[in-house]
Structure 1
Amino acid sequence: MVNGSRRPVRTPPLSAVTKIKRLQFAQEHKDWTVEHWKKVMWSDESRFQLHHADGRVRIWRKQHESMHLTFMSTTLQAGGGSVMVWGMFSWHDLGPLIRVEQRLNSTTYLSIVADQVHPIMLMAYPNGDGFFQQDNAPCHGARIVQEWFQEYEGDFTLLRWPPQSPDLNPIEHLWDEVKEPSGSWFHNHQISQNWAVLFIRQGVRFLTSPFNISWSQCQEKSPQY
């Protein structure tokens, strides 16, 4: 495992209303056990910076891991730019990484939900007892998306999520780990590779300590949460 510092989860300043909604959500789920959380499929988007033009990439690794694919870098004629990806995972399953061209709009998101989320939820939770988590991005709340969820509400439940709460989503810690092995810059194949390798090695860990700390702080009615 690579040892090193970690990026803090960024969340905007919280309004009084948002704090109340976060507290309400924590209280509504305070009695959920690990078995309940195992039935949640977490999702999010994240942006990755592609290779820097000067080719300078620093990694942290153990001495014997120099030839491990996760820690190797390619040489490009020119680099730069970024790529947005969407992903999802649960206690049991790792979903695909979907590359998002430019910004994620309601039409693109509906396609992801219908073509990726729906079949994976049916496979992971055939009894219809699974929960799908999404944040409150505008495209998630679009009418065509909400109508789709209503049409298929018997297949799984849409988890109601408090606004401005990325720190409560375990996938944020997975993103952090995916980005950590190679610092700030990536090539496209490396993003998918890190996503799969890290989940296989330590995926369950992303549903433990950071997540529990955030929930406990919400439930304690801390002024900043």
Structure 2
Amino acid sequence: MSIGNMIGYKKTLSEWQCLSEVKMGRGSPISPMLWRKIVEQYQKGVSQRKIAKSLKLSSSTVHKIIQRFRESETISVRKGQGRKTILDARDLRAHRRHCITYRNDTVMEITTCAQEYFQKTLSVNTIHCAIRRCQLKLYRSKNKPCLNRIQKRRRFRWAKDHFKWTVAKWKSVLWSDKSKFQVNFGKLGRHVIRTKEDKDNPSCYQHSVQKPASLMVWGCMSACGMGSLHIWKGTINAHSYIQVLEQHMLPSRCRLFQGRPCIFQHDNARPHTASITMSWLHRRRIRLLKWPACNPDLSPIENIWRIIKRKVRQRRPKTVEKLDACIIQDWDNIPIHKLEQLVSSVPRCLQFVIKRRGDATQW
């Protein structure tokens, strides 16, 4: 194709792939349906120009497919075309077993093991292609808490004890937790538009701060609505935690449940399990939900923190005051149906914990 034709007509990615595959004689990578439509319209007497215009393809692509049909009188792919693969089907099965067994290995480590096992010269690109041919892909692993054997056993036992709870009983739980929010500095986009030579351009850097300004936030929620929010100032100890419970937890419980019985949930942090905190809760006759250690994937409020952090990250506040305002605004805008959906999913989470014998779930 000449330069003028390339400027006058821009092909899509699928068209270029189809044209290249036709030239190489391996058939269309899209589907045989496209070949069948072209041949059917050609047999009805439709011109190649109209076929290309109706199917949004180039005239050269349609011409190659019709020329193939004239030569072989079939739309099947010709055999024996193209370069033979280095790894056959048996090698791919062995390669897939190795990749699944050693999921955390790097591509270089997998390439070295494949060269030693197959006794062939293999490059990193060949291993990348082999991984894709095995219906696998490189993903970023999820961050989950490290659970030892005792913690898994306690999680499993706790899930079995609370598995028979109904959704209505889980809706009577007041969930509480605290989370840390940091001020975002600079341009925090995950990607930057640049050329290969502009990697050392200062405008393409992502600047980081060693100790950015942050806020520690405490909040509570239930299926009935969002509770109060408290911004920590100073150190967090048992005395300050009791003040937060008096100023925010008790009014939230009265406003959300309106005198109905409820269960209060918090984790096993040191201010929560201190003797003065437990005695204060006992004097107030507040029922507590027994909570095992390292159990954040079963608390619905963790999902609320994740939603708020995603929204705050999109706004990119530059000061602590703006960060505080963004957190409060996003906290008040959480819809009720979202809270009911999160609380109603707790029995399903318990089912996964029981199925995995106390190990971390997908949430």
Match of 2:180 in 1: 47
1:71-90, aligned counterparts within 5 Å?
80-90=212-222
Partners of 1:51 and 1:203 lie apart in 2 by: 27
Partners of 2:270 and 2:243 lie apart in 1 by: 15
| Structure 2 residue matching 1:159: 3-state secondary structure | coil
- The letter for the 1-side match of 2:267 is D
Q: Which runs of 5+ in 1 are unaligned?
A: 1-7, 60-79
Partners of 2:335 and 2:292 lie apart in 1 by: 26
1:109-132 Cα distance to aligned partner (Å, 9 max, x none): 010112221232234345552000
Q: CA deviation at 1:212?
A: 4.3
Structure showing the higher strand proportion among its residues:
1
Correspondence for 1:205 among 341, 346, 353: 341
Partners of 1:207 and 1:195 lie apart in 2 by: 17
Q: 1:220 to 1:37 in 2, by over 3 A?
A: same
Aligned residues: 195
| More displaced stretch, 37-46 vs 99-108 | 99-108
- The letter for the 2-side match of 1:135 is D
Partners of 2:340 and 2:308 lie apart in 1 by: 14
Contact 2:225 2:256 in 1 (8 A): yes
Match of 1:130 in 2: 262
Partners of 1:47 and 1:125 lie apart in 2 by: 28
Q: 1:217 to 1:86 in 2, by over 3 A?
A: same
Contact 2:154 2:358 in 1 (8 A): no
Partners of 2:142 and 2:348 lie apart in 1 by: 13
Structure showing the higher helix proportion among its residues:
2
TM-score, normalisation: structure 2: 0.49
Match of 1:173 in 2: 303
State percent identity of aligned pairs: 28
Q: CA deviation at 1:28?
A: 1.2
TM-score, normalisation: structure 1: 0.76
Q: CA deviation at 1:180?
A: 1.1
Correspondence for 1:148 among 262, 277, 280: 280
Contact 1:27 1:219 in 2 (8 A): yes
Partners of 1:136 and 1:9 lie apart in 2 by: 23
Correspondence for 1:193 among 329, 336, 339: 329
| Structure 2 residue matching 1:157: 3-state secondary structure | coil
Partners of 1:102 and 1:27 lie apart in 2 by: 39
1:149-176 Cα distance to aligned partner (Å, 9 max, x none): 11111xx311111111011100000110
- The letter for the 2-side match of 1:108 is S
| More displaced stretch, 23-32 vs 199-208 | 199-208
Match of 1:70 in 2: none
Q: Which runs of 5+ in 2 are unaligned?
A: 1-140, 191-211, 318-322
Match of 1:164 in 2: 294
Q: CA deviation at 1:205?
A: 2.5
CA RMSD of aligned residues (A): 2.6
Contact 1:93 1:124 in 2 (8 A): yes
Partners of 1:101 and 1:131 lie apart in 2 by: 27
Which has more radius of gyration? 2
| Structure 2 residue matching 1:83: 3-state secondary structure | strand
1:12-31, aligned counterparts within 5 Å?
12-31=145-164
